């Protein structure tokens, strides 16, 4: 409850204060209405006997006015409370999700996002199937508070009839409430236990229903298999929830019997007391609704269940913030402006991915000279991309250190350092946004920026792409939006290259390219890489590629093997050495010559298509 109020308070203090005050009024007004309505019922017979002008009639009219005022007040306060809830509810959800989202993105790296347990918790807290609970959490809380507050008042009323009646009614009420809490607990923590399975089931559902895998699903006839797999995975995932609910059936039955028994006792006593004349009609009209209200509290399936889940979700969201915060690495405060001037150096750097024992890098020594280009090559899994991730501080080295002009990378202000980088990752994001935002996020559409965008598009070899877009810079790069269009893999890669070059043109001094031309054909790749080297002249450039015809123009080439720098030098020096690089280069060159020879034997109109493939 405290965590939920904390999120509400951060969202709006005034609205939270009103949301706390209105339920107090809404709990008090029905209680007072019950009392005055009972007094009115008791006054009516005397008013009828006394006539319209009698004091008894005047008293009844006065009571009627009081009841009417209380009812009108209740309606007005209820409507005001609905307005406050409608205002505060979405802001509470937004604040909770914003806080969790900020916590997820607060760590300097991404290692926490590869922790399965943490990923399950994130999915559990932010899952769409709990959206309704988040959206209505505030209403649930108010309903529960009003129920408890009214229940306490009505218990006091019953105690004024027979002092021991609360000893009969309250245990039945608490037993039912306990069952509701247990039910909510079972659904919540059973759902938490099922988080991994639910994530897998959702993944299968997205594959079956989404466009990404639609071609292969149909081509391989996987539709029935995926539906069956989803059904099986979902059943296994939800079994803990179903088991918990089934275990609660005895408690639910006991609670129902206890409440029924308590109701029989209370109403039997009220009936006898009224028939014997021990209580007045007014008292009966007060005690009977009080008894119904007490016995109706804690009803199975009411807001108690959902409020319990909502408070647990809010608590788990706050715990998630704390847990993620504890995973963050230290962030330096030294400015990175104008760095690197001389070099970036990896000294004895080792690294293992979270949960893995194998070292991807094992004592790597590597120097990236400022203002020059360095190509990193090696077998798949050699650790080439890991070097880039460490340079971007997406991970921290397991051992060793990275120095920028002699300053430990961990001591540099992270935002300042990343502003020095223009990066394209191998698995770059295809932003479903306008082309302009894909290159410079949030840039104003002025002439200066347009000139920059046109320049980097040309440098990335994508100048012809702009001509084919219906709305040019404003075209959304997705067919999922009206007026949008999709791009081929090669076109997307050129857009990503232009994005990295745009960062360089805006002040970044380190250009990092991970397989920058993997989706391009050989000729387009060579042309683009020539442009990249020309565009990045004087910029510190780190290039990862598996095609040796591109890296040969780099100033220096490093071969990564067994987690270390196995060879280093220019293309000519490495070829003369006859080591790993020379062997891999010749193998790839022979394969390309064989392919080119086969293409030469094709009809002329088929050669270009084959080379592009």
Q: How, if at all, do strands 510-514 and 421-424 pair?
A: parallel
Task: Please state, for a pLDDT cut of 90, what percent of the chain lies above it.
Answer: 10
Quote the tokens at residue 66: 């009081």
CATH number for the domain running over 343-582:
3.40.50.300
The conformation of residue 380, written as its DSSP 8-state character, comes to T
Which CATH architecture best describes the domain 2-324? Up-down Bundle (1.20)
429, 512, 396, 418: which is closest to 112 by C-alpha?
Answer: 396
Mean pLDDT, rounded, of the chain = 79
Angle value at C-alpha 28, between 23 and 34, nearest 5 degrees: 135
Question: Is the predicted pLDDT of residue 301 greater than 70, yes or no?
Answer: no
Over 507-529, what HEC string results? CCCEEEEECCCCCCCHHHHHHHH
Q: What's the whole-number mean pLDDT along residues 393-413?
A: 91
Instruction: Answer whether 430's CB lies under 8 Å from 492's CB.
Output: yes
Tens of pLDDT, residue by residue over 153-184, are 888 888 888 888 878 777 777 777 666 666 65
pLDDT value for 337: 85
Task: Please state, for a pLDDT cut of 70, what percent of the chain lies above it.
Answer: 80
Question: Is the predicted pLDDT of residue 300 greater than 50, yes or no?
Answer: no
The helix, strand and coil proportions of the chain, stated in percent and rounded to the nearest 5, come to: 65, 10, 25
Tens of pLDDT, residue by residue over 16-75, are 898 889 988 888 888 888 888 888 888 888 888 888 778 888 888 898 899 899 999 989
pLDDT value for 194: 57
Domain ranges across the chain: 2-324, 343-582
Q: What's the whole-number mean pLDDT along residues 454-466?
A: 82
Q: Can you name the residues that pair with 402 across neighbouring β-strands?
A: 346
d(CA 517, CA 524): 8
d(CA 456, CA 472): 15
pLDDT value for 519: 62
d(CA 123, CA 280): 59
Instruction: Answer whether 424's CB lies under 8 Å from 438's CB.
Output: no
Question: Is the predicted pLDDT of residue 597 greater than 50, yes or no?
Answer: no
Tens of pLDDT, residue by residue over 488-516, are 887 888 888 888 888 888 888 898 888 77
d(CA 592, CA 493): 22
Over 40-100, what HEC string results? HHHHHHHHHHHCCCCHHHHHHHHHHHHHHHHHHHHHHHHHHHHHHHHHHHHHHHHHHHHHH
pLDDT value for 69: 93
Over 226-240, what HEC string results? HHHHHHHHHHHHHHH
CA distances, 139 to each of 20, 88, 135, 163 (Å): 11, 10, 9, 34
**136 or 161, which is more confident?**
161
Question: Is the predicted pLDDT of residue 444 greater than 60, yes or no?
Answer: no
Residues 6+ apart with CB under 8 A from 100: 122, 125, 126, 317, 320, 321
Tally of CB atoms within 10 A around 370: 17
DSSP assignment of 554-581, as one string? SSEEEEEETTEEEEEE-HHHHHHHTSHH
pLDDT value for 604: 43
pLDDT value for 346: 94
Q: Which of 68-72, 264-268, 407-411, 555-559 has the lowest mean pLDDT?
A: 264-268
Question: Is the predicted pLDDT of residue 517 greater than 70, yes or no?
Answer: no
Instruction: Answer whether 4's CB lies under 8 Å from 307's CB.
Output: no
Instruction: Answer whether 520's CB lies under 8 Å from 341's CB.
Output: no
């Amino acid at each position: 409850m405290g965590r939920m109020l904390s999120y509400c308070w951060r969202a709006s203090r005034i609205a939270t204060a009103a949301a706390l005050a209105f339920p107090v009024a809404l709990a008090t007004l029905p209680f007072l209405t019950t009392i005055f309505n009972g007094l009115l019922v008791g006054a009516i017979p005397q008013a009828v006997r006394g006539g319209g002008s009698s004091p008894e009639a005047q008293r009844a009219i006065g009571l009627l006015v009081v009841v009417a005022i209380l009812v009108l007040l209740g309606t007005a306060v209820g409507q005001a409370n609905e307005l406050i809830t409608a205002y505060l509810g979405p802001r509470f959800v937004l604040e909770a999700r914003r806080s969790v989202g900020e916590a997820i993105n607060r760590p300097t790296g991404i290692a926490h996002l590869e922790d399965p347990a943490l990923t399950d918790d994130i999915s559990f807290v932010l899952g769409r199937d709990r959206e309704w609970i988040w959206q209505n959490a505030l209403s649930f809380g108010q309903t529960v508070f009003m129920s408890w507050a009214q229940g306490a008042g009505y218990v006091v009323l019953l105690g004024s009839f027979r002092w021991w009646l609360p000893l009969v009614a309250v245990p039945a009420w608490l037993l039912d409430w306990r069952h509701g809490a247990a039910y909510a607990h079972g659904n919540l923590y059973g759902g938490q236990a099922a988080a991994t399975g639910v994530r897998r089931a959702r993944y299968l559902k997205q594959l079956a229903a989404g466009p990404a895998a639609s071609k292969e699903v149909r081509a391989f006839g996987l539709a029935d298999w995926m539906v069956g797999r989803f059904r099986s995975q979902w059943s296994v995932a939800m079994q803990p929830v179903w088991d918990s609910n089934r275990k609660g059936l005895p408690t639910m039955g006991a609670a129902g019997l206890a409440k029924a028994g308590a109701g029989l006792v209370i109403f039997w006593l009220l009936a006898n007391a009224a028939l014997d004349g021990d209580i007045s009609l007014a008292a009966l009209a007060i005690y009977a609704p009080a008894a119904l209200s007490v016995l109706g509290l804690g009803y199975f399936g009411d807001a108690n269940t959902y409020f319990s889940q909502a408070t647990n979700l809010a608590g788990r969201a706050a715990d998630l913030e704390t847990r993620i915060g504890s995973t963050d690495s230290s962030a330096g405060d030294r400015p990175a402006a104008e760095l690197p001037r001389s070099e970036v150096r990896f000294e004895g750097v080792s690294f293992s991915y979270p949960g893995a024992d194998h070292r991807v890098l094992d004592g790597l020594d590597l120097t990236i000279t400022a203002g020059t280009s360095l190509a990193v090559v090696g077998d798949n899994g050699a650790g080439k991309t890991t070097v880039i991730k460490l340079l971007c501080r997406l991970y921290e080295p397991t051992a060793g250190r990275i120095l920028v002009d002699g300053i430990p990378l961990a001591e540099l202000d992270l935002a300042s350092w990343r502003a020095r980088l223009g990066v394209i990752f191998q698995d770059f994001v295809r932003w479903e946004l306008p082309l302009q935002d894909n290159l410079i996020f949030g840039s104003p559409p002025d002439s200066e920026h347009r000139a920059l965008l046109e320049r980097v598009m040309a440098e990335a070899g994508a100048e012809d792409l702009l001509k084919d877009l219906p709305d040019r810079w404003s075209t959304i790069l997705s067919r999922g939006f009206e007026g949008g269009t999709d791009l081929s893999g090669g076109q997307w890669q050129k857009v990503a290259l232009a994005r990295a070059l745009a960062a360089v043109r805006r002040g970044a001094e380190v250009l990092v390219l991970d397989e920058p031309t993997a989706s391009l054909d050989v000729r387009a790749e060579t042309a683009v890489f020539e442009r990249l080297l020309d565009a990045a002249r004087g910029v510190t450039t780190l290039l990862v590629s598996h095609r040796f015809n591109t890296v040969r123009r780099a100033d220096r080439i490093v071969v990564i093997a067994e987690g270390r720098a196995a060879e280093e030098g220019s293309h000519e020096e490495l070829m003369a050495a006859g080591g790993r690089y020379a062997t891999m280069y010749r193998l790839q060159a022979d394969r390309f010559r064989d392919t080119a020879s086969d293409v030469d034997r094709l009809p002329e109109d088929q050669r270009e298509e084959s080379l592009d493939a």
